[in-house]
Amino acid sequence: MGVVLQVRVPSRMDKPEHSPPKQCSHENLLPAPVVLTSVHELDLFRCFQPVLTHVQTLWELMLLGEPLVVLAPSPAMSSEMVLALISCLQPLKFCCDYRPYFTIHDSEFKEFTTRTQAPPNVVLGVTNPFFIKTLQHWPHILRVGEPKMSGDLPKQVKLKKPSRLKTLDTKPGLYTAYSAHLHRDKALLKRLLKGLQKKRPWDTQTALLRRHLLELTQSFIIPLEHYMASLMPLQKSITPWKTPPQIRPFRQDDFLRSLEHAGPQLTCILKGDWLGLYRRFFKSPHFDGWYRQRYKEMAHKLEALHLEAICEAQNIEAWMKDKSEVEVVDLVLKLREKLVQAQGHQLPVKEATLRRAQLYIETVIGSLPKDLQAVLCPP
């Protein structure tokens, strides 16, 4: 009879996450269906085997949105390495461009290879050695060779200066002048090597590596989340008949000062120049993407709280007594706008609040002259 696939296409509202496949509870279905968090589950450990000693550096390059070229022996390897690299930042959304397999026939070939401007924030996966020459001006180039399966850790690529790049016969290595801000996690490497020696299942090795990267990203993001949350106005400052207060601006210096007592050192044992990493992160597309998304969520929350405050107010008739028709109509229009947003699931409000808002609108319109009622409620 074949195979039935039930697929849910992610929406823009979904947050990137990763978890192991879960078995569904449908006991009457044989074989039991499996839920995957994505169509393609990357074997992260296999992808990163030749670069495990530089995972920390690669994570930082991805975090900062640095231009990176991955030169691999095959399209499959280049694609998997690029996808593995961009998955390093989960649950942080990857806000840069990436091309798992890029060729000289792609329309952006001239744009990416020009030397008249700085390389764009793109992760490119290529197989043609010709790119070593044409992309020599890119700041970071990762050259990986054919995978060698054995019981020990595969030969690790070395950090090399970009000036050592040669055309065609370039040896595997990470060609970059970048110096990592954080110290290497030697304990992780020991655990992974021990797992290889004990023939630990590869999915377990991948889980260890992914958990390390997840915790690293979370340790970096949590202080930002805490500081951002502190910029939200207090709920008691939100009153029904006044414009809601503004979200306070994100001040980088204030945030950096807060790291002394609420920094990543609380959740991460890695030492290094965290301040320097944050300063560079502020200039990256990922900070801009993260900040815009968080600001949007907070603004929607603020609008929702304001709508709830209006709906919970008991004296709307008293408020309308000394207000001009212009002010009353303005209230109707604003309430309608919030209602449309809420019904479109952009505002996190309860159904009861929506019903009350609709009643308020009807009450306010009913207090207006007939001509205005006709304008606001056309037949």
pLDDT in tens, 139-170: 999 988 876 655 556 677 777 777 666 655 56
Rounded to whole angstroms, what are the CA distances from 172 to 95, 157, 200, 225, 248?
A: 28, 6, 27, 38, 48
Res 377: pLDDT: 75
> Once rounded to an integer, what is the mean pLDDT over residues 313-335?
74
Cα separation, 80 vs 74, whole angstroms: 10
- Residue 21 clears pLDDT 50, i.e. is over it: no
Q: Is 1 helix (H, G, I), strand (E, B) or coil?
A: coil
pLDDT in tens, 207-261: 999 999 999 999 999 999 999 999 999 888 888 777 888 999 999 999 999 998 8
pLDDT in tens, 27-70: 455 566 666 555 556 888 888 888 888 999 999 999 999 999 99
Question: In which residue ranges of the chain is CATH 3.40.50 found?
Answer: 44-203
User: For 272, which DSSP code?
Assistant: B
- Residue 174, H or E segment: strand 173-176
- Residue 318 clears pLDDT 60, i.e. is over it: yes
pLDDT band at 23 (very low <50, low <70, confident <90, very high): very low
pTM equals 0.81
| Percent of the chain at pLDDT exceeding 70 | 82
Res 285: pLDDT: 95
Res 14: pLDDT: 61
Res 335: pLDDT: 79
Burial per residue of 195-218, b for 16 or more beta-carbon CB atoms within 10 angstroms, e otherwise: bbeeeeeeeebbebbbebbbebbb
Q: With both helix axes pointing from N to C terminus, report the angle between 202-230 and 252-262 in degrees, rounded to the nearest 10.
A: 120
Residue 351 phi/psi, 5-degree rounding, is: -60, -35
Res 250: pLDDT: 96
> Once rounded to an integer, what is the mean pLDDT over residues 112-137?
89
- Residue 10 clears pLDDT 70, i.e. is over it: no
Res 94: pLDDT: 93
Tokens 């595969």 -> residue: 154
What CATH code is assigned to 44-203?
A: 3.40.50
Residues constituting the chain: 379
> Once rounded to an integer, what is the mean pLDDT over residues 184-194?
87
